[in-house]
Structure 1
């Protein structure tokens, strides 16, 4: 029985180091950053859709830059089985960065940040600077439905019409090293204050809508790797305590048995032949010697 629990302890010792380990991502395979100004709110909706390298050990911890003036909209994983965004992952954010743990290679981060407005003129700046490298990095800007004369710095001539009928400005795909910054300035003129979502046809179901607001925050999300460590630790403690109690009880039983055996042992014996004798005996029943002065 003890051998059985000994092997259980070895098994737990082996799985504990890996149960709570999450790989800190140092590189992203692809990342697309889209800007949707005046889409469903009078601000800029930013959508970051990324894919981790195929050799990434999951679950993985991802740290991305997060503007201090930004308002979080969604943190989600993109399920590899059905391609659906699911905002059931653990995350926490502090000024300047956001950290989340994903069990899938693909993820989505969404937030809003304000633009500068001067009458009908709108302008905003964005700078990418992170402690991780991106193999394929691309920026895209959605022109608001009510906007004209959209310009970008640096400029891009790659314009395309999306399935939603809106115009998109796409920058060339490039690699970005860790610590390398990339900045863009966007300016446009609004003809009316009408938001883009109000101009989209309801029947157009192919439009990729932004995700639902995230509900799992750092203080209420479930971090399954940590849960696994805690549960394994509890099991380990229970087994250790059980083995300690069992060993102590066995030791106490042995002491009691020895004490009883000693108590039952004859206190007198024949000094000549060593035969045990009762207290009332005067002569040895084995050799007949007198038991006077016996031990």
Structure 2
């Protein structure tokens, strides 16, 4: 039985991290794609509001592609329960026309922002082509386009319906696309006329938003440390198993000694099996007296006891 303990510990330590990280392919329960041409820069601000599915295991590693021409993303952040956004670290890998943004999140709601340089201008005419590269399956996709301040003849294909004025006095075109599969591309073509180079933010009576704060250690979920904790426990099991296996292998059971019968007998009490009473004789006539006699039965002389 002892021979199987160490291999079993090794197998458990290997399978434990695999079980922690094993999960179904990531999917999104919902995603809102916001497209804001000429909002606060002469390019197009694209905002992804992504919510991971309820079956997601955390921490979850995500990879989202954006145009390589966009450069570094403006923000990669987690949305806390109070609605505030905290930036998280990421890596960027460029492959042709696309750049993959890789990051790990411990929270279901994630927001990515970038500025797409793909807005073309020809006199007063503006044209922009947006592409969602289909990185994840999405249960509910919503697309929203903001009409730039001062823009006219707004045309969007496919149509997102009639525009609706927002609280900021800008017009928004919104369409619920529904569910899409992973790998399914979505393309939106936007054309409009604009006679000025002014930006939408200049027409808003709002103060600039505060920068997104950095995420702190206290914001991390306990699941962030779970793989490390389980890994340390697994290593401890391996080391403990090796030490136990080595020690038990060096020890040999001592032979049981038989107790000597002679030694046992020395401890046994000696039992007197007979009656060791002294014989008494008459001092006068020499006759033997019976036990308990005080006078000789022959001559009557008193018996002297020893």
Interval containing the TM-score (normalised by the shorter chain): 0.5 to 0.7
Count of matched residue positions in the alignment of Structure 1 and Structure 2: 244
CA contact (8 A) 2:86 2:213 kept: no
The TM-score normalised by the length of structure 1 is: 0.65
Other structure's SS at 1:69 match? helix
| Alpha-carbon distance in structure 2 between the residues aligned to 1:226 and 1:106 | 16
Structure 1 residues 39 and 59, CA, compared in 2 at 3 Å: closer, same or farther? same
- Whole-Å Cα distance in 2 between the matches of residues 160 and 61 of structure 1? 36
Among 91, 111, 116, which residue is 1:113 paired with?
Answer: 116
Q: Is the 8 A contact 1:43 1:113 kept in 2?
A: yes
Shift of 1:139: 1.3
Show the counterpart of 2:139.
135
| SS in structure 2 at match of 1:40 | coil
Q: CA deviation at 1:21?
A: 5.0
Q: Tell me whether 1:195 sits opposite 2:199 in the alignment.
A: yes
- Please report the TM-score for the alignment, with normalisation by the length of structure 2: 0.63
For the 8 Å contact 2:86–2:215, the answer to whether it is kept is no
Do the aligned partners of residues 225 and 157 (structure 1) sit closer, same or farther apart at CA in structure 2, a change above 3 Å counting? closer
2:52 alignment partner in structure 1: 52
Q: Which runs of 5+ in 1 are unaligned?
A: 1-5, 217-221, 259-295
Structure 2 unmatched ranges of 5 or more:
1-5, 255-306
Q: Which residue of 1 aligns with 2:127?
A: 123
- Determine the structure 2 residue equivalent to 1:102: 105
User: 1:65 matched to which residue of 2?
Assistant: 65
Q: Is the 8 A contact 1:146 1:193 kept in 2?
A: no
Tell me, in whole angstroms, the C-alpha distance in 1 between the residues paired with 2:190 and 2:210: 21
1:158 aligns with 2:162: yes
Does structure 1 retain, via aligned residues, the 8 Å contact 2:90–2:101? Answer: no
For 1:219-258, what aligned pairs fall within 5 Å after superposition? 229=227, 233=231, 236-237=234-235, 240=238
Note the alpha carbon deviations across 1:103-136, whole angstroms, 9 max, x for none.
2222111111111112232211012231432221
Q: List per-residue Cα deviations over 1:174-232 (Å, max 9, x = no partner).
A: 222223222111112223211111211026x9xxx69749899xxxxx9x978754565
CA displacement 1:13-68 (0-9 Å, x = unmatched):
6753345556540x322111111111111100000112222222222233333222
Change (3 A) 1:249 1:50: closer
Task: Identify the residue that residue 87 of structure 1 maps to in structure 2.
Answer: 87
